[in-house]
Structure 1
Amino acid sequence: MATSIEDGAMGCILGGAVGDALGGPTEGRTPEAIRARYGGDVVDFVGPFHEDWQTARPLSPLHKGDGHVTDDTLMVMALANVYGKVRGHLSAYDMADHLVAEIADVVTYVPEFERDTVLVNRLFYAEKYLLLRLRQAHVDPREAGVGNVVNCGAAMYMAPVGIVNAGHPAGAYQEAIEIAGAHQSSYGREAAGVLAAAVAEALRPGATVDSVVAACVALARDGTREAILAVTAAARNVHDWRAAIPVLRDAVRPFDSVGEDYRDPDLDARKPSRKRAIEELPVALGMLVATRGTYLDTVLGGVNYGRDSDSIASMGGAVAGALHGEQAIPAHWAAHIQERSRKDLRAVAVSLAAVAREVFEQDQAQFARRVAAFPGPPVAGTVPV
């Protein structure tokens, strides 16, 4: 188990980033194609799926592989920077005031481009929607996500919300739902709230895989809840990430709008729905259950699942890393991705842990003021929490 908020935050940030980097080269592929290309399962860092990655469509000119983190981790870092500036709970307005500047104005090294640029140049259209709606269209930040394609784009970077709300999954859910409204709607926004809740619960002392799943189920709505229930139930019948891959795919299929051909989505793919769910979050939680929370197996299951493998592996890695702390992350892998991606992820985790402590103190003071202001005689035993 993680020994402190600092240890849990380190496990979460490093764990998510390692999963992201491992899963980059297998993104969009089938398990069969992955094994054919790499001569078996991917269990360590590998090169790009195509040797001519500079021109091979549809991912050119992105250098996915060789320890490079993707947009998932870069967005986690951007949101962490916003927390470092605000040093308090975030609202949708903070997304407009600060996150847009992080992606559009701050020059950073983008590993997949192997050069410095602004992050928005790396983002896909669903994430560029933040810039379009919040800066260029001046939409109310609380409603800006309406109209966007519904995908995992908001959920993939919500781990910092769980860290800042460590031990309080309901609070993490509400905060993520609030800020994700600037980016996503429908089940894309719902997944963002649930992923944040999963991390917050994983950081609670005494948390287990079962308590993480229970927290997610208690908070999730509509198709997201049903997908988590179906996938985690199926996961309990397997005990190995390899065996889990087809089982979890079968379980999530009724809720996935994309369809079987990941590169040629179905006609109703990624449209708002009360019945659908993004694929990535339920599968990440399913891998966590199937592997009994083991960090390495959770991540490798996501990597070799294919489809949106980097997001599945990074979500599963973030939750498993939060549960177990830094010791669960292979040190040489954590060092490798930071060197290859030119990112100080340890500094990100340290900063988020510090903000989490500050926010916890703010919350205690706020609750004490609420107790003092509550009309009528005080309730016996009421104390700030």
Structure 2
Amino acid sequence: MDGDLPYDRVIPPDRWLGCLLAGAVGDALGAPVEFLTIDEIRARFGPGGTTGYADAYGGRGRVTDDTQMTLFTLEAMIRAHVGRRLLYFEQQTSSVVQHAYQRWYHTQGVPWHRAGGSYAMEAEPDGWLVRERELFHRRAPGATVLSALQGFAEGAERGTLSHHLNDSKGCGAVMRAAPCALWSEDPLDGFVIGAQAGALTHGHPTGFLTAGTLAFLVHRLLDGAALPEALDDARAELVTWEDSAETVAALDAAVALAKRGRPTPEVLAAELGGGWVGEEALAIGVCAALVAEDLADGLVFAVNHSGDSDSTGAICGNLLGAAHGVGAIPAEWLAELELREVIEQLGGDALIEFSAANSLADPDWRSRYPAW
């Protein structure tokens, strides 16, 4: 995880930004129907379900905590890499991610002196992302995440792969993990960083192993692998991990279901679940990506079911965006997407940081991205 810097890796900008933006689009498509059954969705939108943005949280194209936390995960990747690159000081990447999540916790209405815990050494949190006022909205954040971050702020020990904070395997870890794919040339490093980031809030192995799996899949897709190949590689890695059987079984079920053809929402729920827990959300996102005719079709499929529609839409969007790029996202969806400029700015900055040229010429870089 802390080996050579990934200077030799070429990250395709179109597919990387596609991963971020399509994930946010999937989140926004699913937000209005997250807590509805498929029958309720059809009653509201017609037999085909929702096919575009609808009002949620006071407008159209609004994202949820899934996108918010994905952005803070990405910011943590940049800041941790700045620390490694400049040798400012050495510390665990998971500590930088924890700091980022406490900043997100602050955006949920918690004063910094109570949200930051051991990181609240200054009166205000640092970096540019936490000053974006559009992020200061509560969009149905998960109780497990809030509880874990509150606990850390009050002095609890940080969660790790061996120190489990709880027994939660909710999907709040996997839905934010895609940025961990940037960390290294080796997809295994992305897997480990993703799992470590997941363990900060979710202590059940399935909760954090699904997060590592999504990071691994995105890494392989960015490097040009087809999704079936990426899934085979991810499965081969997963089976080497203790307590991975549940995640492996969910991926196998998703692949098997997709091979039978496009399932109905009822069959999807019966065989893969509702997406409220990590393995179900990952499986539904994977199945949707496998059966998709194109990116838009995949996202519509991913959100029309009885379950956690915003998270399954976000995961499917991460996968299809990494595979097909920004150009595959309908322009009308991008036009109304909340936080689009923030996503593009942060995603572009990540490409600068994770490159051979990096950002040494920018005198403001270290104030935008402090190395911790």
What TM-score, normalized by structure 1, do the two folds share?
0.73
Mapped partners of 1:316, 1:64: distance in 2: 24
Q: Deviations over 1:306-346 (max 9, x none)?
A: 310000010000111001111111122112113xx575211
Q: Which amino acid aligns with 2:98?
A: A
Residue from 64, 71, 74 that aligns with 1:77: 71
- CA contact 1:15–1:314 (8 Å) conserved in 2: yes
- Superposition pairs of residues 77-156 of structure 1, within 5 angstroms: 77-87=71-81, 91-104=93-106, 105=112, 106=130, 108-110=132-134, 116=136, 123-142=141-160, 145-147=164-166, 149-156=168-175
Equivalent AA in structure 2 for residue 175 of structure 1: I
* Deviation at residue 279 of structure 1 after TM alignment: 1.2
State the 1:299 CA deviation: 0.7
Aligned 1:43-82 pairs, distance under 5 A: 43-48=51-56, 63=57, 66-82=60-76
* 2: CA distance, partners of 1:75 / 1:200: 19
> Residue 163 of structure 1 corresponds to which residue in structure 2?
182
- Counting aligned pairs with the same residue, the percent is 24
SS at match of 1:101: helix
Is this contact kept in 1: 2:275–2:284, CA < 8 A? Answer: no
User: Structure 1 stretch 178-187 or stretch 8-17: which is displaced more?
Assistant: 178-187
Q: Is the 8 A contact 2:173 2:197 kept in 1?
A: no
**What amino acid is the match of 1:91?**
T
Q: CA deviation at 1:304?
A: 0.8
The answer to whether structure 1 residue 201 and structure 2 residue 220 are counterparts is yes
Shift of 1:354: 2.4
Name the aligned partner's letter for residue 27 of structure 1.
Answer: E
Q: What residue in structure 2 maps to residue 368 of structure 1? A: none
Instruction: Find the residue that maps to 2:133 and give its secondary structure.
Output: strand
Q: How many residues align?
A: 311
Deviation at 1:152, TM superposition (A): 0.7
Q: Which has the higher contact order (CA 8 A, sep 6+)?
A: 2
- Where structure 2 has 5 or more consecutive residues not aligned to the other structure, the ranges are 1-9, 85-91, 107-111, 113-129, 239-243, 359-372
| Cα drift, residue 107 of structure 1 | 5.0
Structure 1 runs not aligned, ≥5 long: 49-62, 259-269, 271-276, 361-385
> Where does residue 288 of structure 1 map in the other structure?
289
Q: After superposition, where does 1:281-320 map in structure 2 within 5 Å?
A: 281-291=282-292, 294-320=294-320
Indicate if the aligned counterparts of 1:96 and 1:135 stay in contact, CA closer than 8 A: no
**Bigger radius of gyration, 1 or 2?**
1
Q: 1:227 to 1:245 in 2, by over 3 A?
A: same
CA contact (8 A) 1:87 1:358 kept: no
> Deviating runs (4+, > 6 A) in structure 1?
none
Contact 1:83-1:355 at 8 Å conserved across structures = no
Asked whether the equivalents of residues 181 and 218 of structure 2 are also in contact (C-alpha less than 8 Å), the reply is yes
What code does the residue aligned with 1:76 have? T
Q: Report the residue type matching 2:351 in the other structure.
A: A
- 1:192 Cα offset (Å): 0.6
2:196 matches 1:189? no
Question: What's the CA shift for 1:64?
Answer: 6.7
Contact 1:92 1:180 survives alignment (8 Å)? no
Aligned to 1:279: 280
Q: Distance in 1 between matches of 2:44 and 2:350?
A: 38
**Structure 1 position 300, deviation (Å):** 0.6
Give the C-alpha shift of residue 144 in structure 1. 6.2
Partner Cα separation in structure 2 for residue 290 and residue 122 of structure 1: 29
Q: Is contact 2:275-2:308 (8 Å) kept?
A: no
Q: In structure 2, how many angstroms separate the alpha carbons of the residues matched to 1:283 and 1:164?
A: 25
Alignment partner of 1:37 is 2:44: yes
Aligned: 1:21 with 2:34: no
Secondary structure of the residue that 1:278 maps to in structure 2? helix
Tell me what 2:343 maps to: 345
SS in 2 for 1:337: coil
Partner letter of residue 43 of structure 1? T
Partners of 1:6 and 1:174 lie apart in 2 by 23
In structure 1, distance between residues paired with 2:264 and 2:353: 37
Could you tell me which residue of structure 2 aligns to residue 248 of structure 1? 268
Q: Which residue of 2 aligns with 1:214?
A: 232
